[in-house]
Chains A and B, each alone.
Chain A
Amino acid sequence: MSLRSLARAWNEFFFEPQPPQPVAVFRIFYGLLIIADLVLLRADWQTWFGPRALVTLQTQRVLEPGPRINVFTLIPQTAFWTDAIFWALLASALMLTVGFLTRTNSIATWILLASIHQRNLLITNSGDTILRATGFFLMFAPAGAAYSIDRWSRRKRGKEGAEIAPRSPWAQRMIQIEVALLYLMTFWNKSLGPGWIDGTALHYVNHLDQFKRFPIPAFFYDPLMVAVETWLTLAVELALGVLVWVKELRYKVLLAGVILHLSLEYTMNVPLFQWIMLSSFVTFVYPADFIRAVDWLGARIRLQLPARVAAPSLVRASRGA
């Protein structure tokens, strides 16, 4: 291996143009997840972030000192301004979801999201951390290049053609790396714990009442089953961190990840985390497969529509093909 070949591989991985559709869909999922998060937080917004919150701004600064992106430090500490941040974040997340002024709103959403996290770090979880990290790189991605009002507007003004041009994917790659790193580091940290090695870790997790959601069938509590579940969890997390990069294995690994997260969604009350992780999987879908799937889905939908509705779509599709 030479330095030249390394540089070529780096350039190919980060800069070889790729269709931006997967990262555009990730943008939609991301926006929807922020909106869902805000809906869940709404009733307790002042309790968490208000001037007389469970953790005041002054206390948060003592707990986690240092300069941080946090617009709460720039506004008056009043209930009105605390609410204003809620509505501003909701508005920017909505506009990001529909792809209106996408770049501007991805920046606004990220700054406001980082601010509410930094305002009260005692309530943040891993889902918040990955939203913040992926949102950071989403700001640099061509997230409005597809499925957006921005693209619709550009086409209407004749600035873009029917086809979506490939773009440099480095920001999407960073989102992928963040997600894979999460799984790899989780695996690594767990591998340091005796319970994950001797197969008893999930015994304790299964009996943490605060996390329970729906009932688990009794045979899942059998010690042998618990050991199998424990080791399978480790194996899937390792695969999502490492094997997801192997082309032939990617979809199998992602499928295992989907099963893992859906089973966790059933058994454990960790709101949004599973959906955040599942949404991130879309960035791993190969663009050609993604476009093929969208075409297939589009054809199925057109088949279901009445002829007078479907016909214009078919005409447009045949012109664009």
Chain B
Amino acid sequence: MRNISRDTNRRPPAPSRLVRILISAFIAFNLFAIVSWCVPLESPLLSACRSLSRPYLLWTGLFQKWDMFAPDPSKLNCYVGAQIAFRDGRTALWTFPRMENLGIVDKYFKERYRKYANDNLRLDGDAPAWPDAARYIARQQYSPSNPPVSVNLIRYWSLVPPPTATGAYEPGPWEQYVFFRYSVAPGDLP
């Protein structure tokens, strides 16, 4: 193997004891903050630790939760769409891009829509995002001669049934539910 450092006279100086102590404190604090935030346990002590580290983690963006397909994967095929009503009384159905309907390349480019709509927008916890979504859809469907007057956001879902002994699979029926009704105001449109 090559001698990886022979010209030691040009080696950067090793950190001093004080610098090592300061870096060690930084490392220890980050480990404490990150681990206490993402460990899947609940206790009064952990809650106190999280409260302590919360401002730092939120500000830096180091908050993290590693729960991909955990504790159990979703048992729902789902997507989010909308029913748009226009001034002349016509209605139209619209959906965010659905990965299952896209080609290989488009799936790469449009996957954020799946994350946005299927993992977040459809949940009640993200209700503050619903008006923005409705306004966006109204603008997508805008026509000066026949503008949209209302947008209803709809969840669609189909259960993935439990496995059978033979591995045969029959998906559950599709169901739907209007979870948000929005009246479009003139200022919402282009």
Q: Do A and B bind each other?
A: yes
The chain A residues found within 8 Å of chain B, CB to CB, are 10-11, 14-15, 17, 19, 40-41, 43-44, 47-48, 52-56, 59, 62-64, 66-69, 114, 117-118, 122-126, 129-130, 132-133, 136, 142, 159-168, 170, 174, 177-178, 181-183, 185-186, 188-196, 200-205, 207-214, 221-223, 226, 269-271, 287-288, 291-292, 295, 321
> A141 to nearest B CB, angstroms?
12
Q: Are B60 and A174 in contact (CB under 8 A)?
A: no
Question: Which of these binds chain A: B7-15, B86-94, B175-183?
Answer: B7-15
Instruction: Kindly state whether residue B74 has any CB partner on chain A within 8 Å.
Output: yes
Q: Are A168 and B1 in contact (CB under 8 A)?
A: no
Residues of B within 8 A of A269 (CB): 99, 107-108, 111
Across the interface, name the chain A residue whose C-beta is closest to B111: A271
Please report the C-alpha to C-alpha distance between residue A48 and residue B129 in the assembled complex, in whole angstroms.
12
User: Which of the residues A177, A186, A194, A295 comes within 8 Å of B72, measured between beta carbons?
Assistant: A194
Q: Are B69 and A185 in contact (CB under 8 A)?
A: no
Instruction: Known A-B contacts: A14-B23, A63-B129, A69-B60. Give 10 more (CB < 8 A).
Output: A55-B129, A59-B131, A67-B59, A159-B10, A163-B7, A168-B14, A207-B171, A269-B107, A270-B111, A295-B1
Q: Are A204 and B2 in contact (CB under 8 A)?
A: no
Residues of B within 8 A of A209 (CB): 77, 99-100
Near A by CB (< 8 A), chain B positions 142-171 give 160, 162-167, 169, 171
Given contacts A129-B64, A185-B66, A292-B1, is CB(A201)–CB(B23) below 8 Å? no
> B147 to nearest A CB, angstroms?
16
Please report the C-alpha to C-alpha distance between residue A252 and residue B94 in the assembled complex, in whole angstroms.
49
Q: Are A14 and B27 in contact (CB under 8 A)?
A: yes
Instruction: Kindly state whether residue B124 has any CB partner on chain A within 8 Å.
Output: no
Given contacts A53-B132, A122-B126, A160-B10, is CB(A166)–CB(B4) below 8 Å? yes
From A69, A129, A136, A213, name the one whose CB has the most chain B CB atoms within 10 angstroms.
A129
Across the interface, name the chain A residue whose C-beta is closest to B188: A52
Q: Are A54 and B132 in contact (CB under 8 A)?
A: yes
Please report the C-alpha to C-alpha distance between residue A189 and residue B4 in the assembled complex, in whole angstroms.
42
Residues of B within 8 A of A202 (CB): 73
Given contacts A165-B5, A210-B118, A211-B99, is CB(A188)–CB(B39) below 8 Å? yes
Given contacts A69-B59, A133-B62, A168-B14, is CB(A226)–CB(B1) below 8 Å? no
Please report the C-alpha to C-alpha distance between residue A123 and residue B11 in the assembled complex, in whole angstroms.
44
Please report the C-alpha to C-alpha distance between residue A16 and residue B75 in the assembled complex, in whole angstroms.
48
Instruction: Kindly state whether residue B68 has any CB partner on chain A within 8 Å.
Output: yes
Please report the C-alpha to C-alpha distance between residue A95 and residue B14 in the assembled complex, in whole angstroms.
27
Please report the C-alpha to C-alpha distance between residue A68 and residue B63 in the assembled complex, in whole angstroms.
11
28 A-B pairs whose Cβ atoms sit less than 8 Å apart in the complex? A14-B24, A19-B5, A52-B139, A55-B116, A59-B132, A68-B58, A118-B61, A123-B116, A126-B66, A126-B68, A133-B62, A163-B7, A165-B8, A165-B10, A185-B40, A185-B67, A186-B67, A186-B68, A189-B40, A196-B71, A203-B162, A207-B77, A208-B73, A214-B104, A221-B167, A269-B107, A291-B1, A292-B1
Please report the C-alpha to C-alpha distance between residue A193 and residue B64 in the assembled complex, in whole angstroms.
19
Near A by CB (< 8 A), chain B positions 11-45 give 11-12, 14-15, 20, 23-24, 27, 30-31, 34-35, 38-40
Q: Are A291 and B4 in contact (CB under 8 A)?
A: yes
> B2 to nearest A CB, angstroms?
6
Q: Are A167 and B55 in contact (CB under 8 A)?
A: no
Across the interface, name the chain B residue whose C-beta is closest to A122: B120
Q: Are A165 and B11 in contact (CB under 8 A)?
A: yes
Q: Are A200 and B14 in contact (CB under 8 A)?
A: no
Q: Are A196 and B61 in contact (CB under 8 A)?
A: no
Residues of A within 8 A of B118 (CB): 210
Q: Are B116 and A54 in contact (CB under 8 A)?
A: yes
Given contacts A181-B38, A207-B169, is CB(A133)–CB(B64) below 8 Å? yes
Q: Are B163 and A223 in contact (CB under 8 A)?
A: yes
Given contacts A123-B112, A181-B38, is CB(A321)–CB(B67) below 8 Å? no
User: Which of the residues B40, B98, B112 comes within 8 Å of A48, measured between beta carbons?
Assistant: B112
Please report the C-alpha to C-alpha distance between residue A288 and residue B4 in the assembled complex, in whole angstroms.
9
Please report the C-alpha to C-alpha distance between residue A123 and residue B96 in the assembled complex, in whole angstroms.
13
Residues of B within 8 A of A174 (CB): 27, 30
Q: Are A192 and B14 in contact (CB under 8 A)?
A: no
Across the interface, name the chain B residue whose C-beta is closest to A19: B4
Across the interface, name the chain A residue whose C-beta is closest to B99: A210
